[in-house]
Amino acid sequence: MVDEGSICPFTESSTLPSACNKIFRRNFLKEGMIGIIPKHYRWRDNQSQIGIQSLLWEENCRSINIHHAAKGRENVIAGAKVDGFCNETNQIFEFHGCIWHGCKCLKYQRDAPLHDNPSETLNIRHEAIVAKLNRLRGFGFEVVEMWECDFRRHIKENREIIIIYKKSSYSTKFTS
């Protein structure tokens, strides 16, 4: 590192990543330039690709602007993160992954412990999302829901969804 990068990792940095960053800044980044993270390289909140597709579809169908993770971060409303929110219409948009939220389309062993979290079952996950939505509705919000299985059927029936997503700046890849 000293010979090739002109950096002494023992005196100029405390970790290997910080030494590598220093090598990049000192040897490759032009003076006066700022290293910029590419657009959509890392979203602040995790949201699935198909979840973003569904929110873009809702925006297109309703001619509204929905704020979501791909546009910065998810909103927190009444203490709960929501997938999308439209200020103009006061609507909350929630996309439910079937396994993650325990969709009723999954019939097998709904009370069996899940592999990724043995303290949860499909029924527990489903009850949790229903309670969250009821709480949000109790605060007077209209909640628009989309289950993954339903949206996948919409994609098969309406290929325009794919076109809208591909035209957006959020599409890095599309898998159906």
Q: Could you tell me if 148 and 95 are in contact, meaning their C-beta atoms sit under 8 angstroms apart?
A: yes
| 9 pLDDT tier (thresholds 50, 70, 90) | confident
pLDDT tens digits for range 19-53 = 887 888 778 777 776 665 545 444 455 678 889 89
User: Please, what sign has the CA dihedral across residues 145, 47, 102, 77?
Assistant: negative
Instruction: Sort 69 into a burial class: Cβ within 10 Å, 0-12 / 13-18 / 19+.
Output: buried
- 68 in helix, strand or coil? strand
Q: Give me the numbers of helices (H) and strands (E) for the chain, helices first please.
A: 7, 6
Q: Which of 35, 31, 32, 33 is nearest to 20 (CA)?
A: 35
Say what the pTM is: 0.70
**What integer pLDDT is reported at residue 120 of this predicted model?**
93
Buried b (16+ CB within 10 A) or exposed e, 143-166: bbebbbeebeeebeeeeebeebbe
**What integer pLDDT is reported at residue 174 of this predicted model?**
39
Q: Can you tell me the distance from the alpha carbon of 152 to that of 54, in angstroms, rounded to the nearest whole number?
A: 9
pLDDT tens digits for range 62-76 = 999 999 988 878 899
pLDDT tens digits for range 100-151 = 999 999 988 899 998 888 999 999 999 999 999 999 999 999 999 999 999 9
Domains of the chain, first to last: 1-36 (no CATH), 49-167 (3.40.960.10)
| 77 pLDDT tier (thresholds 50, 70, 90) | very high
**What integer pLDDT is reported at residue 28 of this predicted model?**
78
